[in-house]
Each structure stands twice: as structure tokens, then as C-alpha cells.
Structure 1
């Protein structure tokens, strides 16, 4: 991070630990911050009072209806609203790389060392710093303790006997997800500790990537001329800071597990709630020159003097045998684990800890049915897997790191890529695990398409890919709590299809199964006050449900609009189907998806009201920009429509559906002519064709359809929907206006810009920057040979979010030029991986061009 650290000590420390002098090298690339750093800018979440007066008048009805619905949901049903407009999450600039694999829950450790964000119950977050969860170091020389310090810069009210307040100027944090490093220089001790945090996030690995576990490797460097005995103590609360920590019945027990010649020891914390019980497990690997000790139970209340004195006496804990008694109601309990070793003069040693959590089966908020997590396929569903998980992690993490380095190194060593981009690419990937993610086994009685079989336009009851690789879902955002929100997944999906393609295809089969189903239940939609069915047949759902209800059983938790009339959802499905086929070459997938694509395109045709081959928008917000009105043919939805017709022609050709190919080609030719006539103004495509005051605004996302064609290996020759020269001209206009004429060119691309060079303020979304849209725009520029412009565009977002606003590991959906952000920790910024796909394609194009040129010369 390019910030003023303000202290020479931390600068020297970072320089030394990035250099090759040390045995425990911290990588050069990533996001880095001094533990004493304070972000100057403190933004507020978007609230109703931030809406302009004209927009307030437009949405009075929505406000009244939402208030009634919110009251019923929160006060009568006692549920959490899927979007809480009255309880937006405030900005806490504290978060670091989350712990754990994909789909088993996550725990976030902040960059100052706090355990501060919890998602163990699927999709449901709470933001609580648990002060008892800490690492403490004890240094001893010649039998005497010379230094004992909690490795926390905080001064919490808990445990007053402990030595809090480590000086953050002597330490820095470095994140390159899925790993992170915290380097502590112990003042006056000539000792440096490096804590390396590792989670099993490994591309194309569908076993270890599912494990709910993380490893902390503590590297100890002794620069003294004498030997030191060093102990690291790990303390943990049985719980996560919620009220149920004191519900009673929780207990801890020590364990020792030896397998394949390796032994691990630790403490299991049994959290025995009525709903979704789980265990936490602290463990350490036994080494011949190290001593592992523990304290099975101690109270988080009081001064903590007993545990502190126990460690300070000899660097070890008492290690009582047997389990603790179950807690009484109103009481909570903690445990501690310590590892001690000798570190000779001018030498190093390593201590290893793991943290695992085991909630093998769970229910969503409706409590209707049990779901079994993916990792239980390998570790069982009996609720006793945490010791085995810990053993596996401690004996396999070196293999994980080799796999991570093999994946990351080619990109990190590419000198043509800027450092900020490398940090963005890997660190934004946190959301795949920490997006409320669930990865479950398919229930034996599940039928993904509701009884409609392939011969009738449906799917197999249990498609092979879901049976083999499980079901996958992640939230639109930690504050926008809907699973697999499809208009947003369109952008984010690049991370999955490039790194875990089987999960991407599994998600697509689930969406396809939902397409052919219907839910005729009538409900009120909050935007227009009209009633309509929850789910209409043969249209793509907005989402597959709310984790506080029953996802997969009841889709479309989003009830602001009736999304059956949205113009982009069906098209985004078609475009993703072909993109996914292009990248995987899975012929069975293409065969299975074809009838679903035909069905949704048939549903989409009705939006071409005048028969000119081009769909029209309704005059309401009817696409992913759900607060930005669009009327008639539009650049965004019209472009997605033309791109979809293009890929339907391609798929029909591959599947030898000649009649279908001719039908879609006819619509494409007519629609392209109408699109050009109605929207092209000589320098870019107008926002829409309505001739309203803002219809000629410059939309940053106007080339989204072309982006997907290029990402799918199309967009030229026979499968071209847009003239190349017009796309490039439009992208240049977007760069000149939406990027360089906005915030000094330093904050990415604003969604809407007026041709005179001021933001479009006609809606609450037109003058926002959507980070995920910007990364997609940058990818489009790169595909079109505008590499420098694409990188400059995306850089503004990264610098703003990670370096200026302190939103590390909580990248929001949106921010405005000043004061406001909206929806922390959002799915869409995973589209940064679309930039990598574009860069990969440009490398191939350059290589092919060079080979052709060499052949011609020879």
C-alpha cells in the first residue's frame, strides 16, 4: 500500500522482511499496512437522506411500502430483512483476509489482529471483535521471563492483568489472499515474529478448498547472541461474541490425535446451541524440540490474572486433563493453547497452530430441512471432525502453499503488470469464501427442475455435475442478503469459471432448473405497489433465495421489482452459457442448456414491441441498475440482446440447429440495424432512445454485451454484433468522460456522465461508481487493445477502495465521488478476474501475431 507510514521503524522492518535477507520472505506484491495506520477519510453508508429531493418524490410510494414490509419482517416475524435500509453496516476500517475454505463458514481476522467478523451460520453475519481471541508471546532467558505481550494494539476492558497495547509502529500486515503475513518487531528484544496465515483456497481443487480450517505459522527470528525460549499462546472464546455464548451447556476438552506418524494436540470447544451447533478447535503440531500445553477452560470475565501468571511463570500452561464442566446459563468459557520452543542465538524456529470449525449440517432460517456441507464427504457429518480437520491442515498446509504459489507466481512475476493490479486480482477473491458462501451436498430427494425432464424442456432430476461437485451459492453482498443474485453474478462469474469451473457449471444447472419452474404465489412488489407471481415460468430468477428463509426451495427473495419483466436476466443466462462452454468445452453442458436458452429467449422476444428485432425497456428500472429508469431501446439491454442473438447463432451452429440459426440471424441483422440507427450518435451509444433530458448520457457499461462476446472468443467476423470501430470509439468516449473527467481521473468510471462532462444525477445510481462494473469495463478495453486505458480505469477503483477509504476485504458495490458508499462486501468486484481473462487473451493474440510475422519473414 502506497501510504505514509510515518515511522522509520516500520519502514525498515518492511524493507528487511520483503528482502531476500530473511528466511521467511514476505512477498513484494499485495496489500500492506502498518498496524499504527489510521485512515483519514471516514465515509458513511448511503441512507434515504442522501437522495436528492427530486428522487425522493419519485420514490415516496416505495418508501412507505418498504417501511410497512420492514416493520412486519423485523417486529412481527422476527426476521432480518434481505436489505435493511434502516440498518446499513457502518464502515469499520479493520478487516483482513478471512479464514477458511469455501462453503464451510468463515472467520475474519483483522489487519490489527482482531477476530472481528463471523459467518458460521450460513449467509448470516455478525460484526463483533472478540477481545479474548488473541495471540500472546512470552520470551524467557536463563529460566526467567523477560518479555510477555499480547500481540494486539488495542486496550480493551477485558483481562486488565494482561499486557495490552503493542506498539503498532513496529509491525505491518501484508495480504495476498488466501495468505496473509503479520510481522512484529518486539521493541528492545532483537526478536521478530512473522505470523503467516494460510487458508486452503486452491483453484481446481474441490476437496481441500472446501475445508473450514486455517493455519497460523509463526516464524521466530532471534538476532541476539544468546538463546531464548519462546512461547506463543493462542486464546479463544467458546463462541463468537453472540448472546448464545452464555446460553449454557457449552464445554471444552483437550485432545491428542496421532496419525501417519504425525501428532497434533489442542482443545476442542463444543458450542452446543439448539440450532446449528458447532465446534471450534485450536491445535498445534507436535515437534520433538517443542512443548505443547493448554488450559482447558478459563473465564472471559475478570482480570485474567490466573492464565497470565500461568504463562509468565515458565512459558507453559498447566495442561489439566479431562473436559470442563458444561457452562451454566449466563456463563461463557474460553480455552488457551501454548507452544514453546528454544531459539538459539542468531537463529530461527517455527511454531504451527491451526484453527478449525465444524458445523457439518445446518438449517437455513426457515428450519425446514437439514443441509450437509461439502467437506463432510471427506470428514464425516458426525460433528466430531475438528481434530481430524486440524491434523489434516497441519500436515498438508505446505502442499497448499506450493499449489498457491504455482498458481500465483506466473502473474506475480509478470513485470508488465502493475503491483496494484496483482493485489486487486488475488485479494478481491476473498468474496468467493466470505460471501456468505455455502457449498453443500445435493439432497437425495432433490429435483433441480421440479419434475420437468430433459425431453420436456427441463433437466435431469440430479445432473451429474451437481451430484459430483455439490451445490454452490454465494450472496449478492453481506448487506444485500440474496443467494446467487444473477444480474450481479454475470459480472462476478469470471472468478468461478476460471478457477473453480465445476462450481460455475453447478450454479448454472441450478439456475436452469429454476428457470423452468414457477411459483404462482402472489405478492406485493414494493417499487410499483402491484401484485404478481413470485416466479414466472421460463424466465431467469433474480436470486435463489434468502438464507434467513429456505434457498433453492423459494427463489426471488428480492421483492422490490417484479423481475419477470427485467430485460437483462434472461440474456445474461444465455451469454454465460456460451462463455462457460467456450472456456470448458463441456459438450454435455451445452446440450443440456440449449433448450433452457431457447425458452428464455422466447420469453425475451415479447419485449420487442415494434418487431424491429430490438427489445425495448419499459420506462421503469428493469435491469441490474434497479434505481435508474430506462425507456425504449437502450445501450445496455439492447447490447446484451444483440450479443445473446449472436451466441444463440453460434450455439445453434454447433448443435446443428440450422432453422434456429437462421431465425436468430434474422433477428440479429434487423436488431443491429435498429440499434445503430436509434442509439449511435457518432461517438458513443446513447443511454436510451427516449429523447428524454438524460437519454444521451454516456453509460460506462454500454459495451457489456460486446465484452461477453470477446470473453467468449467471438465479436468478430460472422459472430460480430457491433462494428469494431464504433466499439472502440465508444470506449474512448467512456474513458475521456466517465473516467478522466470524473474526480480527476482518480476514482474509476462513474456510471453515467453527461456529454458536457458532469455526472448524470438523474438517479441514485447514475452518479455512483460500481467497482465491479469498472473492472468489467477495464476488461473490455483490454480486449479492444486499450490496455493502458483499461488499467488506468481499474486502478482508480483499487486505490480508492483499498488505500484511501480503508475498505480492504469489504469492497462495496458502490461509492460516490464524496462522502457516501453503498453495500459493503459485495459480489460484483470479483469481475476483476475478467481483466485477467482479457490479459490472457491479449498475450495469446500477441504470441500468434509474432509467430505469423516470423513465418512471413522466413
Structure 2
């Protein structure tokens, strides 16, 4: 969407620019911003001082225990805490679309062009802007350089020999993930450059989508009446801005690779750390009318005027042939690559660069095991794949773009969908790649079943989908460092199962395998102050581990609560199993998961304390809202329970288990009656049934169970747990109160609202907006035919995050009406894809109804003919 652009010339440029030569125009849809834009609102991360006095007193014990644990973790063990409450990331309103495919690490390029966020070691981030990583343009006419400019609006204190300070009013950035465009008008030169950034993130593609590479295509438009020679220079430091850039021993070398009639050349930057060494690669495609030149090594400190002069002299670099010596300790090294071409008067030309990185074998923080990344299946694991990777990327990126356009086109061309929604849908997908994501091959000796054979209700040791498609994990958030956090994945999983369903199923097998395992090791849980086992048997884990430890091997990095007592995790597993089956129709998956579903439902039964068919919450924060206490039967967990009973009935019928069906149907009937009696107040379902002062708060997420039933194709006639009229009434109450009575209806739905129209401020989470929950709520409304309300609800979140607060490509878990946000770059907002499922389901239902109507008419005519 267009922000406040400032100069009219910039707005004109943004509205008119089309790359006619290549046929790739900057799309109308997406997120667009002028490089000179400044966000007016500056928010701060949530801190302890933001907690009300009553909440502080309630959590004094937690605070003391956390402080002791934090000190031990950071000062004694020298590790990063999985949640650092003292060092939250400040808001930097700079991020753009990340580079690279799924699971091979990411490098984020900001919307002003800076390389500023790095995740090469799996799940671990460095938020450093590396000043020397830049693109520079050189224009020459008649053998003389007439213009040379770093394409950056910054004026850094280093590299003073370069020409900095490009005027941001003359450029804009446009993101429609996995592609992005930056359009630069060169002042006084009558030349426009468009840098198109392409990453191989392609639905249902399990090969190219795994590649750690990205392409920069520079389209050059010369509107002068004379020809120009244009050079684009790409500079890159050997490293990521981390302290190990100065550890010594790093070196660069030029390379040239010709294969299948196509040639590429560039520079390899070997980063030779003891742990997880890697090679960065900057490369360009060689073509007859383009000249590729390089500088193998230069020091990215001081004025660095020699490199600048080298380019300005003739638009080319010296291109030495040898490798650079290893760096001394304390020194950094960088490399440069330039491509020159002629651009005719009133003409176009293009140059192409690749940035690739090869870290084929990884260890997590414990250093116990070596894992092999997915892309090595196609490019090898020896650490020498960078030239081949860059060659492949440069010769296949147009195919990537065709696939991306084919996927996005039907949605982008649907005039019934608002522009902001199209931007949200595609741009929020960044987290599938940049969520600390790791995608590995499954070692031959790995048993994902937990060692419990199928006759004991377990799983295959190596399910086919895991063997073929590998293991997948992504973080709860870049600041909440736990892999596959399951209560949150419940919301985010729509993106995965709709676009890369094999990865969704693989993740489910890993969760199922951990269900049947146990870890009796006693540890202190910070909220209660009690010791209890790390993992109980036959319950769903909270997460599969911390990347700074050993994920999959040691689960439940989260130690604030004992999640064995959480009420939602088991239910979310059951609901996802059936939803995934409904969308994939994978009968083997259903067969494998059925006994695990039975096991977790049996574990859940103990929470029905009075035997009325409805589970009770404990009086603590025992579900995904882990800072908002709930007592007795509740709208959220009770709704998930009833929905789980519905899908257990459905699955029992699918596997021909009549006895099991009858058992769950009986519980469902009793539980539905109790749910209605204890929680329905005539307009909506109360937050809980405790009778406390705030038990009748309006929870925005109260229909989560019903949402999953609709997403799983279960209609009103399928084991109905939630009467349609009551769901509609509840959703209307949420819209009227949580949405329209909060922040003028402009910020989405607040989690908790009092019936009198003020936010529920009883906890640190009840007065927050959770973006991922809001998208799920909007999907529920769309399923129920409340399209306008659903879109209005979700639009408030998108515009707040992307346009007002400057949180592009770092959508947080939560924000309050004023002042603060919590947990930048979070998993849950991927639930925007649940809206797309709801829209497609609704469209399909309407189409089916229309066809049925036509069929009925045709059938009547046929009968008439037959009768006559």
C-alpha cells in the first residue's frame, strides 16, 4: 500500500514505472514505501514496568525465579535465554523482504537497501547493518564517467571515499513476497534503475524452494537521446556483521563456471569459523554484451577510496586472478563484483547478480549432532556448492518467477479482494523462511516414532513423508526462540498445509513421535516454583526445542509453565490432524495419527473433573494465553474440546470404529449441553464460568474450535457442537465490542473486552491485540458469511503493523492500543492464510450451490422430456 510519499515526483515515478523491455512491471498490489519515508510513531517493546501493580504483585515469584535463571543462563552457561525479558529487540523500522529459500538460512535486505538481519546459524539472529554491503551505479558517456553513486540514502562515518547520500525522494520500494522491487530515478541523469529481488519460495516445490540463494535483476532504462555505458557494482563483506568477522582466517577467491552453455563468474567469500563455516558467493551471469569484473579482496574500513577510483576510472574493476590471503585476527575482508553493459538511447538493458550462501552441515547450540540441510540433496554437502548454486539460480530464476506469478495471479487479479489483503497474504509469508527456519534431511538412523512400535499405538520409525521431504522446524518468533511451538503453530499452520503440505505433515509426525516419549528429568518451572518432569508421556509438547540447545532431541525449551497441564495442546493436535487430512486426503497419515489422537484425548479426559463431558481450566494460565488466567469451563478451551470431540467422531467413522464413535459422540452430547449451560449468556460465550468479576469478558478468540471445524469442511450436520445462530451472535458481539469499540475500530480485535465497552485490563494479555488471532477471527467470520466484518477486522491489524508502526517483515505477536508491542517477527500472523482458505471455501460453496441449482433445473427438464 502507498504511504506518505512526500515529493510529487516520487509519486509520479511510483505510479508510472513499468519495465517494458523485460515484461516484468512493478505490480500494483503489495507494500510500497518511499525511501525517504519516516514513520512518525515510535513504539517500545513490552517491559516489566509496563505491567500494572496488581499484576506485578501477582508475579513477584516468577520475576525472582526468572532473574536467577536468566543470570545462570547468560553469565554462567554463556547461552542466550529462549526468551530474554531484559533485552527485547528495539523497533527498527527498516526491514524488507528476506533473501533465500526455506530452511537454508536467511539474509534480510531492508527497504532502503541495507543488508541488516542475518540468520545463517539456524535459529540465531544478528541484527547488524553491514555498511559496505551495497550496490553502486556508474554511468559513462563517451569514455568519461559522468555519474557514480552508492544507491543508499545513508551517510556513514566509514567508507568516506564513496559517494553516499542518494536522495531517497527519488526512489521507492515495493514488496510482494517472495519478490521485491526498488525503483531508483537518478537525479539529473534521465536514467531509471529497477532492482528486482527474487527468492525461490514456490508453493508445492520441495527442491528449488530449499535453495539458499537470491537473484537481483537490474533493469536499466535510458531516456536520453544518446547511449550510455552503465556499470552496477555489488560489494559484500565476508561475514554478517558478527564479531567472528574479525576472528581471522577468512579468505576470498574468484571463480568462473561454464555449464550447459551458460557461464557465471564472481567471488567466493570463505567464512572459516570453527562452528558452522560457510561460503558467501556473489556472482553474475556472463553474456556477450556484458562485461563482468571483480575485486577479490578489499578492506571495508577507512575511506576505501581505491575501490571507488578503480570503478570510476573505466566502469570496471581490476579482476586479479589469485586468492586473497587469510585475514589476520582483528581484520575484515570484502569483495566486489561489477557488471557493465551498453544501453542504447531511449533503450533498456539488464544485468543479473546472484547472492548465494553454502552452509551445508549445521550444528545447533549443544554441538552434539551434525545435521545436513535439505538443499544438499541436490547440490552436495562438501561445502563447495556456491558456484553451482549461483549458476543454477541465475539460469533458473525466470522459471521461478513464472511459477510465482502463476500462483499469485488469480488472487492479485480478483477485484473483489481489497489491495491491503493481497499485500498481507503474500508478505506475511516471509516468516515461513525467516522464522529461524531449518529444513534438514532425515538421518538414516533416526527413529521419529519415539521407539514405540505401531502395535503399541506408535508410529512408523521413518514415515515415508519424513524420509522423502525431510524435517522442518520454525521458531515461535525471532525473539521467542522455540521451534515448532505447538499452541502457536495451530494458527500459523494454515500457510504450511496449504502451500507446502508435505512439510506440514512431516512436522506433525515429529510432534506425534514426541507425544509417546517422556523425559522424567525434574526441572523448576518458573511460574509455579515447582519441580516437575520435562515431558510427560501421551501429551503434546509445547515445542521441540531451542536452536541454542539440541532440537528434536530435547523438547520443551519453554519452562515458564508445566505445559503437561495445558488444556489446548492435545486438542490442537487432534484438530490439526483432521484438518490436514481433509486438505490432503492422505489416508496413510490419518491411519498413523489415529492411535496418537486417541492417546492424547485419553490424557485430556482427566481435565473433566466433574464428568459432565466438558473439561475445566485450572485457575492458572494453562493455554496459549499464558498470562491470562482462566478458571473452570471456558469458551476457548471448552470450544476446542468440543471441536476435538467432533473430529474424533468423524475420524472414528473413517477408520470404521463404531464403538469409539459412540463413546466420543456420547461425551460430545453431554459436553455440548454443559458448554451451552455454563457459558452462553444470550449474546456470546463468557470467558469462563468461574463467576469472577471478569468471567463475562468478551474473548475475541472464543470461536476458535468452531473455526477449525469450518476449515476442516465439517458443516452444521456434522456432530454439531455450536449452533449457527449462537456462533453468529458471538461473532457479532466480538465485532461490535472487541473491534469497533476498541481504538475506533482501526486496530483489529483486542483479546478481551468488557461488555460495557472497555478493554479487559486484568492481565498483560487481555488488553493486547494478537495479530494472528485476529486473522483467525476474520477467517471465522468469513466462513459464517460475515465477509465485510471479517475484512474490516483484519484490515485494522494490517494497516497498524505495516503502514502505521513500520513493522514490515517483523509482524509482532502483540501490540496494545498505545505505546508498546511484544515479540517482533512472530509465527502466529501466518494465520492470514486461514482467511484465504475461508474465502476459497466460501467461493466453492457458492459455486456448488449454483451448479446444484442448475443441475436441478436440468434434471427437471430431462424428467419432463422422459415423461413426454
TM-score (norm 2): 0.98
Distance 1:715 1:18 in 2: 46
Q: Distance in 2 between matches of 1:854 and 1:281?
A: 59
Paired with 1:588 and 1:831, the residues of 2 have a C-alpha distance of 26
Give how far 1:715 is off: 3.6
User: Mean Cα displacement is larger for which, 369-378 or 456-465?
Assistant: 456-465
Q: Deviations over 1:20-70 (max 9, x none)?
A: 799541000000000000000000000000000110000000000000000
What's the secondary structure of 2:17's corresponding residue?
helix
Residues 1:540 and 2:531 are matched in the alignment:
no
* Secondary structure of the corresponding residue to residue 718 of structure 1: coil
Distance in 2, matches of 1:657 and 1:125, equals 48
Q: Call closer, same or farther: CA 1:420–1:21 in 2, change over 3 Å.
A: farther
The yes-or-no answer on 1:683 pairing with 2:680 is: no
In the superposition, relative to structure 1, how do residues 24 and 856 fare at CA in structure 2: closer, same or farther (>3 Å)?
A: closer
Q: CA deviation at 1:4?
A: 2.0
Counterpart Cα distance in 1 of 2:559 and 2:171: 47
1:855 Cα deviation after fit = 3.5
Shift of residue 459, structure 1, vs aligned partner: 1.0
How many Å apart are 1:79 and its aligned residue? Answer: 0.1
- Mapped to 2, the partners of 1:358 and 1:710 lie a distance apart of 43
| Cα deviation, residue 186, structure 1 | 0.1
| 2:613 aligned counterpart, secondary structure | coil
Q: Match of 1:753? A: 753
1:356–1:390: 8 Å Cα contact kept in structure 2? yes
Cα offset, 1:450, TM superposition? 2.4
8 Å CA contact 1:706, 1:715 repeated in 2: no
Aligned to 1:851, the other structure's residue is in SS state helix
Q: Could you tell me which residue of structure 2 aligns to residue 615 of structure 1?
A: 615
Give the equivalent residue in structure 2 for 1:177: 177
Q: Which moved more, 1:448-457 or 1:757-766?
A: 448-457
Ranges of 4+ aligned residues in structure 1 off by more than 4 Å: 18-24
Residue in 1 aligned with 2:390?
Answer: 390
8 Å Cα contact 1:438-1:474 kept in structure 2: yes
Distance 1:554 1:645 in 2: 30
Once residues 407 and 710 of structure 1 are traced to their aligned partners in structure 2, the CA distance between those partners, rounded to angstroms, is 24
Residue 121 of structure 1 aligns with which residue? 121
What CA deviation, in whole Å up to 9, does each residue of 1:169-188 have, x standing for no partner?
A: 00000000000000000000
| Alignment-derived partner of residue 807 in structure 2 | 807
The reply to whether residue 816 of structure 1 matches residue 823 of structure 2 is: no
State whether residues 523 and 531 of structure 1, in contact with CA within 8 Å, keep that contact through their aligned partners in structure 2. yes
Q: How does 1:697-776 map to 2 (within 5 A)?
A: 697-776=697-776
**Deviations 1:135-170, CA, capped at 9 Å, x for gaps:** 000000000000000000000112101000000000
Greater mean alpha carbon deviation, residues 241-250 or residues 442-451: 442-451
The 10-residue stretch of structure 1 (441-450 or 397-406) with the greater mean CA deviation from structure 2: 441-450
Verify: 1:76 aligned to 2:92, yes or no. Answer: no
Gaps of 5+ in 2: 859-868
Distance 1:226 1:160, change over 3 A: same
Matching residue of 2:866 = none
Residues 209-358 of structure 1 mapped to structure 2, 5 A cutoff: 209-358=209-358
Contact 1:16 1:22 in 2 (8 A): no
**Superposition deviation, residue 460 in structure 1:** 1.4
Whether 2:403 is the aligned partner of 1:379: answer no
Helix, strand or coil: the match of 2:287?
A: coil
d(CA) in 2 for partners of 1:657 and 1:69?
Answer: 48
Work out the CA distance in 2 between the residues paired with 1:627 and 1:388. 49
Contact 1:17–1:24, Cα closer than 8 Å, also in 2: no
Distance 1:224 1:438 in 2: 48
Deviations 1:376-429 (A, max 9, x none): 000000000011000000000000000000000000000000000000000000
How far off is 1:718 after superposition? Answer: 3.0
Contact 2:361 2:373 in 1 (8 A): yes
Please give the residue correspondences for 1:357-506 in structure 2 after superposition, counting only pairs within 5 Å: 357-506=357-506
Q: Structure 1 residues 146-155 or 844-853, which shifts more?
A: 844-853
Report deviation, 1:518.
0.2
Partner residue of 2:580? 580
Greater CA drift, 715-724 or 104-113: 715-724
Tell me, in whole angstroms, the C-alpha distance in 1 between the residues paired with 2:727 and 2:601: 25
Supply the distance in 2 between the matched residues of 1:308 and 1:154 (Cα, whole angstroms): 17
Q: Is the 8 A contact 2:579 2:708 kept in 1?
A: yes
Contact 2:2–2:31 (Cα < 8 Å) also in 1: no
Kindly indicate whether the alpha-carbon contact (under 8 Å) linking 2:21 and 2:348 is maintained by their aligned counterparts in 1.
Answer: no
| Partner SS for 2:140 | strand
Matches within 5 A, 1:143-154: 143-154=143-154
Distance 2:23 2:682 in 1: 59
Q: Distance in 2 between matches of 1:803 and 1:21?
A: 32
* Contact persistence 1:475–1:827 (CA under 8 A): yes
1:641 deviates by 0.2
Shift of 1:18: 5.4
| Aligned equivalent of 1:605 | 605
- Contact kept? 2:750, 2:759, Cα under 8 Å: yes
**Alignment partners' CA distance in 1, 2:133 and 2:718:** 60
**Separation of aligned partners in 1, 2:376 and 2:312:** 40
Does the Cα contact within 8 Å between 2:235 and 2:337 map onto a contact in 1?
Answer: yes
State the match for 2:862 in structure 1. none
Name which of structure 1's ranges 470-479 and 240-249 shifts more when overlaid on structure 2: 240-249
What is the distance in 2 between the residues matched to 1:21 and 1:35?
25
Shift of 1:301: 1.2
CA distance in structure 2 between the aligned counterparts of 1:759 and 1:695, rounded to whole angstroms = 13
The question of 1:12 aligning with 2:3 is answered: no
**Partners of 2:348 and 2:754 in 1: how far apart?**
61
Partner residue in 2 for 1:777: 777
| Counterpart-to-counterpart distance in 1, 2:306 and 2:587 | 65
How far apart are the structure 1 equivalents of 2:528 and 2:24? 59
**Deviations 1:350-372 (CA, angstroms, capped at 9, x unpaired):** 00000000000010000001000
* SS of residue in 2 equivalent to 1:327: coil
User: 1: CA distance between counterparts of 2:55 and 2:488?
Assistant: 24
Tell me the alpha carbon deviations over residues 715-750 of structure 1, each in whole angstroms, 9 at most, x when there is no partner: 410332110110011000000000000000000000
Distance in 1 separating the partners of 2:857 and 2:652: 40
Give the total of aligned pairs.
858
CA distance in 2, matches of 1:330, 1:703: 57
- Kindly indicate whether the alpha-carbon contact (under 8 Å) linking 1:35 and 1:173 is maintained by their aligned counterparts in 2: yes
C-alpha distance in 1 between matches for 2:583 and 2:709: 12
- Deviation per CA, 1:689-731, whole angstroms, max 9, x where unpaired? 0000110000000000000000000041033211011001100
For residues 120-199 of structure 1, the aligned pairs below 5 Å read 120-199=120-199
Query: For residues 384 and 414 of structure 1, do their structure 2 counterparts lie closer, same or farther at Cα, with a shift above 3 Å needed?
Result: same
For the 8 Å contact 1:639–1:703, the answer to whether it is kept is yes
Distance 2:856 2:283 in 1: 63
Counterpart CA distance in 1 for 2:688 and 2:18 is: 51
For the pair 1:42 / 2:10, whether they are aligned, the reply is no
* CA separation of 1:193 and 1:376: change in aligned 2, threshold 3 A: same
- Conserved 8 A contact 1:29-1:419: yes
Structure 2 CA distance for aligned equivalents of residues 653 and 586 of structure 1: 16
After superposing the two structures, state which structure 1 stretch, 492-501 or 6-15, moved more. 6-15
Partner Cα separation in structure 2 for residue 760 and residue 93 of structure 1: 30
State the Cα RMSD in Å. Answer: 0.9
Cα separation, 2, equivalents of 1:545 and 1:835: 29
Structure 2 Cα separation of the partners of residues 735 and 330 of structure 1: 58
Q: Secondary structure at the match of 1:719?
A: coil
Aligned to 1:196, the other structure's residue is in SS state strand
Give the superposition deviation at 1:449: 2.2
The 1-side partners of 2:551 and 2:853 are apart by: 54
Q: Secondary structure at the match of 2:718?
A: helix
TM-score by length of 1: 0.99
Q: Secondary structure at the match of 1:263?
A: strand
**TM-superposed deviation, 1:19:** 9.1
Q: Distance in 2 between matches of 1:453 and 1:358?
A: 38
Number of the residue aligned with 2:634: 634
